[in-house]
Structure 1
Amino acid sequence: MTGIGIPIVRCKNTRNYGYLVVLGVMSLANAEVHLRHFGFTVTDADFGTTMMLNLIILMIVLMGGRVIPFFTQSALSEAATQIRKPIEFGAVGLSIALIFGEVLNLPPELLVILAGLVMIFHALRLIGWHDSRIWETPLLWVLHLGYDLLVVGYGLTAQAKFGGILPFLATHVFTTGGIGMVTLGMMARVSLGHSGRPLQPPLLTILAFVLLNVSSLLRVAAPVFFPSAYGTLILLSGSVWILAFAFFLWNYFPILAAPRIDGRPG
């Protein structure tokens, strides 16, 4: 955090101060896990890990609002991308409110409403960013789909608070799907752009994007539709997820280990 924070503060990049706050709270969540392990705290067993998951999702919410519409506009001429401030403030503000609501252990009825509102605002956010041509560009649709899965995750969270489904279904949509897709998509795009290469991922990386979607579907569908094959499908989901990132490593290690092809520093 210090390595990131000092340059941001020195150059007075106030736009990124919010990320430092999130990283600081992440450090506290990480510390809580270790303190609880040694018996120094009396929080719920999964308090720190749940908080960390929520903060990672929040980081994607903050980052996604800046890069996904920007990447869409950059890649598609005359893209009909809309950034509506009320929707942006609502999506971010309600996401933060939901985190506080869970920390304060608000009544389930309030959390259902809050999670439902978060889902709606993020869905509206995505609608504003959408352009039908994203499906022609893998480096765009992987990010949009990843954010789509966050919307699904918030919807499942609302259902879980209502008692309609098991909470871990939302967790798996957030992790295997949303976080996995956005992370892989960002790494794939940034690695090409910052190495001076065209923004055209290798075919094996596009396959990795597809595999992550398959992994997420298997992970969520297994306990709901195929409980008798739960163990097998979970193993298959994990294997497919690992394979997707192995494909990324195979394609991108030579890129990341070599100098920029345009001769510029970096």
Structure 2
Amino acid sequence: MKPLDEFPAPPMPPPPFPSLSAPVWASAFRPFYLLGALYAPLLMVVWAGAYLGAWDVPVSAATPLALWHGHEMLFGFAAAIITGIVLTALPSWAGTPEIRGGRLALLVALWLAGRLACWATPWLPPLLVTVADSLLFPALFVLLAPQLWRAANPLYLLLLPILAALSGANLAYHAGIAAADPALGGLGLRAGVYAVIVLYVLKGGLLTPIFTGNALREKGRGDQAPFRAGLDAAAVVVVVVLAVLDLAAVPAHWTGAAAFACASIHAWRVTRWQGWRVADVPLVLVMHLGFAWLIFAFALKAAAELAGVVAEAAWLHAFTVGSLGMMMVGLMVRVSLRHTGRPLALPHAMRFAALLLFAAALVRLAVTVHELGAWAVAIAALLWSVAFVLYLARFGTILVGPSVPRARAKQHV
């Protein structure tokens, strides 16, 4: 099977409206990466300022700042990047028609409607906010279900329950906010994080070893580690078990045991990929670093539940800031280069961005474990934000501009 970035984009039919023929509407990664990278620093700066007491955020009195921040990071920023990754990957991997033009513009409009509603919460009826912010994932489900049902590989249908879980988690969050029940709102956010982890394990666990194999062959260092269906299935199942136990609030030793199993199985799985042998290939290395943070997150969860030696929130920051951040940037750069006809070489600015993300994760984790002050939270937010500002500076014009012909791009390798 060829990797995602080796497939040319299908020919684009003429759109019904000339404005939808602009390059930004040619593929989902273009508008969603652009919006996600724009939203990331804006959201982080606004949240950090509110956290430090410099200003207020537009939330209702019943919405804790931490919940608003978590919701917008997950269902705002992360949802945009995930949508761009999934919709760009499926035509190559599952052979589905690419969503572009008017349908893509509709999805972008739904994402924007959700963001506007969540920022205008104090002035809108709660039901309107809930509806506006809950349309993106159901729309994706409706668009993708018929396509995936016809796909040759039925495993792609696993994306549908993940989309349904994300939609349900978002509704649970809004139900908690409407009922002035922060516990329910927080439960919804945690369910959403687990849904993202399952998608991460499924898709990241497919792309990372394949791209690693490509790099190993190119360097003359061997071949890709063969997939083991049983191990790959266990890696997904054990995360689902952990999610069920954690969300059900079972005794801590059960949750801790499941987290330890997650760390062990994923460490075994990732070690088989031999990422250390491609440490000199930054575009692949950053994906392995993302999985290293994932394993560390599970280990922190086990330590928190079994021994209480770290704060329980530590594992969430290890995953969201470290693991998810590293993987997102790695895929955003890779797809932005290859799908616009450019050679796969990590720009120096993005190497620095990856270092900033890694540092942000370390600082944010230190804040949680060692109870550092607000100044450290602000530093972590700044480091994380600058990484996405660098992505915008390097790729913003590429995302809205025309692709480079592949033949021309190869001349610059």
Q: What TM-score do you get using the length of structure 1 for normalisation? A: 0.92
Q: Does 1:239 align with 2:239?
A: no
Structure 1: distance between partners of 2:190 and 2:173: 10
**Which residues in structure 2 correspond to 1:11-90 (within 5 Å)?**
11=151, 13-39=153-179, 44-77=184-217, 78-79=222-223, 81-90=225-234
Structure 1 residue ranges without an equivalent (≥5): none
Q: Does 1:96 align with 2:240?
A: yes
Q: Residue 44 of structure 1 aligns to a residue in which SS?
A: helix
- 1:121 corresponding residue in structure 2: 265
Work out whether residues 150 and 173 of structure 1, in 8 Å CA contact, stay in contact via their aligned partners in 2.
Answer: yes
> Structure 1 stretch 131-140 or stretch 37-46: which is displaced more?
37-46
Residues 202-238 of structure 1 show CA distances to partners (whole Å, capped at 9, x for unaligned) of 110111111100100111123434x4x5211110111
**Which residues in structure 2 correspond to 1:102-251 (within 5 Å)?**
102-162=246-306, 163-225=308-370, 227=371, 229-251=372-394
> Structure 1 stretch 7-16 or stretch 214-223: which is displaced more?
7-16
| Cα displacement (A) at 1:12 | 5.4
- 2:403 corresponding residue in structure 1: 260
Work out whether residues 83 and 129 of structure 1, in 8 Å CA contact, stay in contact via their aligned partners in 2.
Answer: no
| Cα displacement (A) at 1:100 | 1.2
Higher relative contact order (CA 8 A, sep 6+): 2
| Cα displacement (A) at 1:13 | 4.7
Cα pair distance change 1:42/1:185, threshold 3 Å? closer
Work out whether residues 146 and 182 of structure 1, in 8 Å CA contact, stay in contact via their aligned partners in 2.
Answer: yes
Supply the AA of the counterpart residue of 1:149.
Answer: W
Work out whether residues 293 and 322 of structure 2, in 8 Å CA contact, stay in contact via their aligned partners in 1.
Answer: yes
Work out whether residues 311 and 368 of structure 2, in 8 Å CA contact, stay in contact via their aligned partners in 1.
Answer: no
| Cα displacement (A) at 1:136 | 0.6
Cα pair distance change 1:234/1:40, threshold 3 Å? closer
- Between the two proteins, what is the percent identity of the paired residues? 28
Structure 2 residue ranges without an equivalent (≥5): 1-139, 408-413
Q: What TM-score do you get using the length of structure 2 for normalisation? A: 0.60
Cα pair distance change 1:12/1:80, threshold 3 Å? closer
Structure 1: distance between partners of 2:356 and 2:182: 40
Q: Count residues in correspondence.
A: 262
